[in-house]
Structures are given as structure tokens and as C-alpha cells.
Amino acid sequence: MCGIVGFVDKTNKLKETDKQALVERMVERISHRGGDDKGTYSTNGVAIGHARLSILDLSKNGAQPFFNRDKTIVLSYNGEIYNYQAVNRTLKEKNYPLQSNCDTETLLYAFIDEGDGCLTKLNGMFAFSIYDAKASAITLAVDRFSIKPLYYIDTPEWFAWSSEVKSLLLLTGFRAELNESKLSEYFLFRQVSGEETLFKHIHRLLPAQVLTYKITSDTVEKHIYWRLEKKNFGIIDFEKVLLEKLDRSVSEHLLADVPVGVQLSGGVDSSLVTALASRYKKDLNTFSIGLKDESWNEFRYSRVVAEKYHTIHHELIFSEDDFVRALPGLTYFQDEPISHSHSVPMYLLAKEAREYVKVLLSGEGADEVFFGYQRYQRLFGRGARPDDIILSNAFGKSDLIKKISASPYDEAEVIRQRRSILDPFSGLAWVDQVSYYDVQTYLPSLLLRQDKMGMAATLENRVPFLDYTLVEFGFSLPERLKINTEENKILLKRVTEKYIPRELIYRRKCGFGQPIAAWLRNPKGLGVLLDMLIKYPRRSFLNYAAIHELITEHRNKSADYTEMLWTLINLELWLRIFIDGIKPEEIIEEIYD
């Protein structure tokens, strides 16, 4: 896990010494993503930087930027390629001069051998830039699910990219602006789908997207190198095949030259990962987090799993005060408004885990692939229409969004735009459409917080359920193995019965839940952020009278507006930090003044 940055100074506005200084500042801005090493390269208007968190081959052999022998091709790479040794064997047969035990070198020579065609042969998580001096071109790419994020801008002055937005804001003459055209989608879904972000002019690469910037012609070409498709597995033992695929994935995700642990919530997904990982790691560290109130933690379940598999288990208790004080700073690390409240305990857990390990495995992705969300049950048997599917992962309600908006809110247009995501799968069963839609729209927000919260603690989070062959298998399962009138995630739970007690599997899950509704009513807790929201009404697109009404009704318990108020708080924090330029610590000082 690392951080990458780079830019092309299109108009040569900066001197070479200034370009070098700029790329160094960009790397420093995301130094939390690395810490083991930093590297930069600058020539002919192109600058590339890298912050390294050493996971494989801890020697200088893996230092980046990474060059071919004549230094005409330059790679800056973030992530892990789990099948790199198999790819290496093919490259060695073709006489490529591999000299390290590092997947960075694998990626460079695989790209030299096949161009971006090599990406379909890689199994892992990655975001990278490659500068080809002879072709005068920059190639950017991310893995099939964008587990590793990559942002870019393309303006008359700059073509630039970074693992995190905050580095791009250092570019001379470029400033952060709100993309108001995406507010309607944000209020409805608490995130923006597609390439656009809440920052005007800042885009993100889509899952499995390749972008090529041709420097001489100042043109951009983009394409998708992989798409999720149903496979015909014929007559097979589904339980056996699932277990084989997941076991292989977990073993590959344990590949590291540093200590590895597991985020153990006590739920099905993380418990199964723990059970399988313990077969390969004798001194496996597991980590759980929760509130002191037992109704808001799952320690009693995670302890059962930890004891059964003899892990070195760690429990972390956090408070409402810990949560509130962390939130502004984590908004800065996230680059985008915090969508999921459990992002905060995820960071607190990562910070604690970093004292013991450098890598954490999680159960992320299993719900989308194997049909685990309770909201799927509400769709079952209804013959879900496309609009039902689109709104199934929404947080906002149309009437409330209209109420708090001073600008026009067009839900029909938001749905129309998202409907295009479903169009390629319109002929498939509803369960397939739902899975695909969530993988494309909801999962990216979960993966973003896995990346950003882990990296804020200088720790690498890995997601073995997103091995692409496992995802293809799960996507292709028949409906009867995903959901029925009484249960969902059917096949995965059956497999898990072999490893943990049934009472842990067939129970209501809590995860990293928090009592946000109650906290918002606490004037000395999370409720202080509601005061911040209305104390200085500065957003022209909001109706503050309506927001004040929502806050009053929520506080006196005549209504529950948790979802809307959480959305507004996090948007305001993000606006203050990135648009207004207020430091997170200054926000903390203000709200506790």
C-alpha cells in the first residue's frame, strides 16, 4: 500500500526546480500513506512521486518510482498483485530481467510486454501511473473494483493525478470548488457515482478503467478492461467450490513480508476469514472494536471466534467523545464527506492495530457478492423494477431533501442517470441486477473508507472476498443460493457453519454500529455538530429554516431525522475543510468553545 502522485505541466509555467519542489510537496501531503520511503522523478514537464509503505520485498529493490533498464518507462504503483509470482514465471520465460521479489517489477514488465492488456491477467488491488517517454504518454489504471482509488484533473494548465485529492489542491492556480450539479445525488445516496466527484474538475477512475493521456496532442482516451459477467459453472458442488476459492483468496491475501491481522467483528464474513487465515498464520492477530454498552458491540461473538482459532485477540472500546473529536480529521483523510458512521471506529481500530501489524484483512465485499444486506429481503418477491433497485441503497428521502434544499431537487434526473448503470443487465434476473448495481455504486463508497481509514493510520486493508474469480462465482450463483423468504446470503452461511457456531451465523448483525440518533440529541456529544451546522448559515443551496426545524423535532424526539442530519453534518464538515480551507483542529476548537 502506498500513495502515488504526478503531473504534466502543459504550459511549462514552472521552472524545473519548482516542478521538483511541487511534486515533493504533493508526496509529503499524502505521506501518511507510506512512511517507509519517498521518491520523485521529474523531467521534460512530467513529474512523478511516490510514498512507500513496504509490504513485499522490504529492500530498496522495491523503491519507487520504478524504472526499466534504460529509464524510458517509469512506474508509480499502489497496491498488491497477489498472483505476481505466476506472472513472473511467464515473464522470465520471455527473458525479462526480473531482479527483485517485488510485484512492482512484475507490473512494470507485464505492462511493457502487453500494454494495458496485461491487466486482465492480474489478480489484486492496484492504482498506478506509467510514463512512457518514447510514446510521450501517461497511463493510469485501477483494479477491477477500484479497491485502490485514483483521482485526476485535466485542465488547460495541468494533467495531474493522485491517490488522494488533497495533493491535487497544491497545483499552482488550481483551487477546490463545489460541484453543485452533484448535490442532488449526494443528498439521496450520500455519495456520487461515476467519474465525477463533489469537487468540480476532479474526477476519479472507474473500476477497471484505463486512462491514457497523450502529452503531445493533449488528448485523453479511456476504456474499461473488464466487466462483471455471469459464468456457467454447470453441475458442481457449490459449497466445495466456494470454499476452495475463498480459501485460496485468503491465503493469497496473507502474502506479505510484514505482520498481518484480521478485522474481526464477530459477523459471518470476518469470522470466516479469520477461520481460514488461522490455517496459514499460527500467531494471527485479530482486532475488534465497540462501545462499552454491550448492545452496541459484538465482543461476545468475536471472542468465541478468537478463542476457537487461538488468535492473539485485541479489543478496543471507544466513546462518543472519541467519535466526535475524530470526525473532522477523518473527513480530511477521506477527501469526501464521511458517508458511513462506522468509518470512524474503522480508523480507531486501524490505529490500534498498527501497533501490532501492517496489514489487515476484512470481510468487505461479501454482502454485495453473496447477497447479505437485509434490504435485499425487502425486494424479494416483489418483482423489483429498475427504480426499486436504484433506490434500494439510498439514504435520503425525497420529501426531506426538497425541504432542506434551497436549490431545485430533481430526483427523476438522478434516477435516470443511475438507470444507465443497470441497462447492460436489464435482461438478467433481479438478484443479478441488484448485485451488479451495488458493486458499481454502493461498494465503491465502502472500499473508499477501507482505503482512506486504513491509510490514515498507515495501514493496508485487504479484501479477500473481492478476488475477482470469487466475485464472478458469487455473481453467477442461482437465486436459491442467495436469498429466499426467510434468509439471505444462503450459500456463504452454509459454508460458514463448518467453522463457527450456528448461533453466531443466524443472528442480527451489528458490525461497527453506533447509536447516532441518540448521540445527535446529546448537546455535549455529536449534537454539537448540529449547532455548528446552523450557527453560521453560509450555503446558498440550503434552506436553514427547514434544517432548524428538523433539528428541533429530532432533539425533542417528535421525529427521527438521523439519516438526513448525518448527511448534512458531514457535508458541512467537508465544505469547511476543503472549500473554506478551515483546518480540522480549528473546527474542533470551534465546536467545543
Q: List pLDDT tens digits, range 565-588.
A: 999 999 999 999 999 999 999 999
Q: What is the DSSP string of 365-416?
A: THHHHHT--HHHHHHTTTT--HHHHHHTT----HHHHHHHBSS---HHHHHH
Predicted confidence (pLDDT) per residue in 34-47, tens digit: 988 999 999 989 99
* Average pLDDT per block of 10 residues along the chain, 593 residues long: 93 94 97 93 95 86 90 96 95 91 94 96 97 97 98 98 98 97 97 96 98 98 96 91 98 95 96 98 96 90 97 97 97 97 97 97 96 89 83 95 94 93 89 94 96 97 98 96 93 97 84 84 95 88 96 97 98 97 95 80
CB–CB of 313/303 below 8 Å?
yes
Helix 528-535 crosses helix 320-334 at what angle (to 10 degrees)? 50
- What pLDDT does 378 receive? 86
Whole-angstrom CA distances from 190 to 164, 353, 550, 563, 571 are 19, 28, 18, 10, 9
Strand segments (E) across 230-342: 260-263, 285-291, 312-318
- At 241, phi and psi to the nearest 5? -65, -40
Say whether 141 sits in a helix, a strand or coil. strand
In order of their start, the domains of the chain are 2-224 (3.60.20.10), 238-370+443-505 (3.40.50.620), 516-591 (no CATH)
Q: Give the residue among 580, 548, 586 at the shortest CA–CA distance from 564.
A: 548
Residue 295: Cβ-neighbour burial (10 angstroms; 0-12, 13-18, 19+): exposed
CA distance 66 to 71: 9
CB–CB of 202/165 below 8 Å?
yes
- What pLDDT does 1 receive? 63
